[in-house]
Structure 1
Amino acid sequence: MAHEGPEFLPRLTAAFVELGTRDVLETREFADACVTVLPIFNYLGSVFLIARNEFSSKNNTVTVKNSPGRNLHRLMNSILFISLIFQNLANGQAMKEAVAESYERSLAPMHTWVVRAGIKTGMMALPTREDFLRALGETESSALTHMQAFVKATERVVQEIARLYQGVTMPRSDFTFSWWQ
């Protein structure tokens, strides 16, 4: 797995710190910040490549006129997922526990049981904490600084988007196999 080098976490964090300082959350700026999130899914292993592809496709619809709000909701939950992983890692959790807990709190509620089961099974192949940080080009101390800043920066962004969905129950993902139809 190619690593992004020591500039990945600083670039990711800076994008959301900048976004979090704005009085108004602009769509283009939000979409640009979301692009910086994509590489993180590569480091979480193959089970999250589907999430990466979905995140990318949802991000591409954010700037399209009249695009569905469901995609924005998915992007928000994906950012929350990464933020929770970083928060858990900063609190000393092992990689598998950090990702599993983050998944349950952010993405699992919108997935069907088939998707949840597949992801939980795939989590067995997650990299270790050390391998994850090494792939990011970070040490424990350098990663901690960026992770904490990312968590703080995304808090406001997630809150602003979540406010749009107050009182709205979002549907679970629809999951079908074409050969079953």
Structure 2
Amino acid sequence: MDCQKLSLEACTHAAQNERLPLRVIVQVLFFEQLQLRTSVAGCLLVADNLDGSRPLRECTSMKEEIEKLEQMQQPSPDSRASTAPMEVDAFSRACSQVSVLFRCLGVAFKFAEMDYVAKVEDLSEASKSISTLNNLLEIDIQQDCVRRGGSHSRNLLRVKRGLDMVKVLFEQILQKDGNSLRDPASVAYAKVFAPHHGWAIRKAVAAGMYALPSKAQLLRKLNEDEASARTYMQTYIICSGPVINSIEDLFNVRQLGIDW
């Protein structure tokens, strides 16, 4: 098999289903890294931010959408009434801002970016006919397809994990000194994604951790300095926590669980 002709997307899909030997997966990651090194003229996985955009600020612009979601979750003045349901449209709009952060982490989290974007797009499409996340789950329960591949409920759970992964990553970056992202990213992956991945993809991700940009390189990619990045990371951590918990509650209150 010519690993140089096997796309990263094809490798990621196969790895998730454990249909490729680990040797092939690692080789594809290696060739992908060589191509990326060439394309950025020796600056590992970090290209100049030519358009002056600030992806981290775009991500935390989801703050307004999340605040709307949090307001929906406030208890009603009538103590007998439950909190208002979370709208699928508002949720998917807020989540769509996060995918750029996976992209900035490079090949190690390419699988997460692809999976996350596809799931958010599914929820966005679902919002055209389903108004709330409560209704989304109830419909899948009625159709007995909650755990079926491609179901809206399954995709919602995976989007929640994507939000959680970024939250834990930011927490680790803020807690740890030094210029390496390997430890923060490894902790975040181990806590959020690893329990749900097979052996092959876990090993592939571990190999990809060596291709992560440094923290300084990541900040250049995000077009932020240390102080501004810290501010926006803290904003994301604070805003995303209640939303992540609310999604987990939606599953747990229906005894669907979240560890699948």
Please report the TM-score for the alignment, with normalisation by the length of structure 2.
0.61
Contact 1:17 1:154 in 2 (8 A): no
In the TM superposition, residue 72 of structure 1 has moved relative to its aligned partner by 0.5
CA contact (8 A) 1:5 1:136 kept: no
Range 64-73 or range 91-100, more displaced: 64-73
Instruction: Say whether residues 1:18 and 2:18 are aligned partners.
Output: no
Task: Determine the C-alpha separation between the residues in 2 that align with 1:39 and 1:70.
Answer: 22
Distance 1:5 1:151, change over 3 A: farther
Q: Which amino acid aligns with 1:69?
A: S
Q: Distance in 2 between matches of 1:107 and 1:17?
A: 27
Equivalent-residue separation in structure 2 for 1:108 and 1:5 (angstroms): 34
Higher relative contact order by CA 8 Å / sep ≥ 6: 1 or 2? 1
- Residue 55 of structure 2 is matched in structure 1 by 8
Q: How many residues align?
A: 171
How far did residue 14 of structure 1 move? 2.4
Residues in 2 aligned to 1:169 and 1:35: alpha-carbon distance in whole angstroms: 21
Alignment counterpart, residue 83 of structure 1, candidates 167, 170, 176: 167
Residue by residue over 1:3-55, the C-alpha shift from the partner in whole angstroms, topping out at 9 and shown as x without a partner, is: 37453222211213531343333211111111111111111111222211111
Q: Is 1:57 equivalent to 2:149 in the alignment?
A: no
In the TM superposition, what whole-angstrom CA distance separates every residue of 1:43-87 from its partner, at most 9, and x where no partner exists? 111122221111111111114255431111100001110111111
When the two chains are superposed, the root-mean-square deviation of aligned CA atoms in Å is 1.9
Q: Displacement, 1:169? A: 5.0
Tell me which structure has the larger Cα radius of gyration.
Answer: 2
Tell me the amino acid that sits aligned with residue 102 of structure 2: F
SS in 2 for 1:29: helix
> How far did 1:130 drift?
0.6
- Counterpart secondary structure, 1:165: helix
The amino acid that maps onto 1:147 is M
Decide which of 205, 208, 215 is 1:122's aligned counterpart.
Answer: 208
* TM-score of the pair, normalised by structure 1: 0.86
Runs of 4+ with deviation above 6 angstroms? none
Distance 1:121 1:36 in 2: 27
Q: For residues 91 and 85 of structure 1, do their structure 2 counterparts lie closer, same or farther at Cα, with a shift above 3 Å needed?
A: same
Report the secondary structure of 2:224's partner residue. coil
Moved more, 88-97 or 138-147: 88-97
Equivalent in the alignment of 1:41: 102
Aligned-partner Cα distance in 1 for 2:259–2:191: 15
How much identity, in percent, do the aligned residues show?
26
Amino acid at match of 1:157: V
Please give the alpha-carbon distance, in whole angstroms, between the structure 1 residues aligned to 2:258 and 2:240.
22
> How far is the alpha carbon of 1:160 from its aligned partner?
0.4
The partner residue of 1:74 within 146, 151, 158 is 158
AA matched with 1:19: I
The equivalent of 1:32 in structure 2 is 93
